[in-house]
Amino acid sequence: MTPPLDELLALARQAAAAGAAVHAAWRGKVLAVTAKASPTDVVTEVDREAERAVVDVIRAARPDDGILAEEGTTAAGRSDVRWVIDPLDGTTNYVYGWPAYAVSIGVEIGGRALVGVVQDTALDREFAGVVGAGATLNGVPIKVRAPPDLATALVATGFQATAAHRARQGQVLAGVLPHVRDVRRGGSAAIDLASVGAGLVDAFFELGLAPWDVAGGSAIAEAAGARIASIDVPNARGPLVVAAAPRIMDGLLDLLRAAGAMGPLPPLG
């Protein structure tokens, strides 16, 4: 039996707090940084230790649930609940001390992310949401902004680690920038998605995201009234994810299509 969503939210908040405590404990220490898919795609012991802390909280309370986490923790589970975890979204920011990194937890029911928590540990902000029941920032209700048109929209984005794909994404950005108010690039997709829900930006798009990058923030954004789209792009490592205020979503999708965001990328080789 699937538990009430508010119970899952409470557990997600507890688990995110455990991961955030790891971030805080390691802050300022010398880290062993290693590369993953490319020299710009890095991982540290903080990622791994935070993942253990988050997973331990979840497994202690719900041992039958599935788990998918960025640093390798996976479990098929025996329920219809799956926890999708990024223990440190924005690792490069963390390494540099740039204040945009978070624990991201999304809870999927039957394959759909319905509960999300993004604990922005750098700025001590907790975004949380349940689809159909609303979202909060530090306990205060939030909702998407409603810009009158795309030209007045503040849009967030991010880039893949692979150099050839980043070059292509730069071309797409050049096609988008003249048609919106401005663009922000924070380095944490989870925070950017949650920020759409909080009205801190009006929209977000990024190509090549993994499930753990998206699940928590997209649930929060949707809970706060945003529209979410996930579009497959040939040769990309993951879909093009778009979140926006409903009023500007169709226009943003048209703009991204015209800018080439949905066309095939160069093969990875």
Task: Compute the average pLDDT of residues 224-248.
Answer: 94
- 190 close to 213: Cβ distance less than 8 angstroms: yes
- 156 close to 204: Cβ distance less than 8 angstroms: yes
Q: Which residues contact 224 (CB under 8 A, 6 or more apart)?
A: 129, 134, 135, 142, 143, 144, 196, 197, 198, 199
Dihedral angle computed from the Cα positions of residues 267, 104, 223 and 143, in that order, rounded to the nearest 10 degrees: -100
Task: Compute the average pLDDT of residues 182-206.
Answer: 97
Task: Compute the average pLDDT of residues 53-57.
Answer: 97
pLDDT band at 162 (very low <50, low <70, confident <90, very high): confident
- % of the chain exceeding 90 in pLDDT: 77
Stretch among 55-59, 153-157, 168-172 having the lowest mean pLDDT: 168-172
Question: How many angstroms separate the CA atoms of 166 and 51, rounded?
Answer: 28
What are the tens digits of pLDDT across the range 86-107? Answer: 999 998 899 889 999 999 999 9
Look at residue 1 and tell me whether its pLDDT is greater than 70: no
pLDDT number for residue 106: 98
Q: Averaging pLDDT over each range in 87-96, 155-164, 243-252, which range is the top one? A: 243-252
Query: Is residue 216 classed exposed, middle or buried when 0-12, 13-18 and 19+ CB atoms within 10 A define those classes?
Result: buried
pLDDT number for residue 169: 87
Look at residue 39 and tell me whether its pLDDT is greater than 80: no
pLDDT band at 40 (very low <50, low <70, confident <90, very high): very low
Q: Would you say how long the chain is, in residues?
A: 269
The overall average pLDDT reported for the chain is: 91
Dihedral angle computed from the Cα positions of residues 99, 100, 105 and 108, in that order, rounded to the nearest 10 degrees: 170
* DSSP label at residue 195: H
pLDDT number for residue 29: 65
pLDDT number for residue 36: 53
* Kind plus residue range of the DSSP H or E element containing 24: helix 5-26
pLDDT number for residue 41: 45
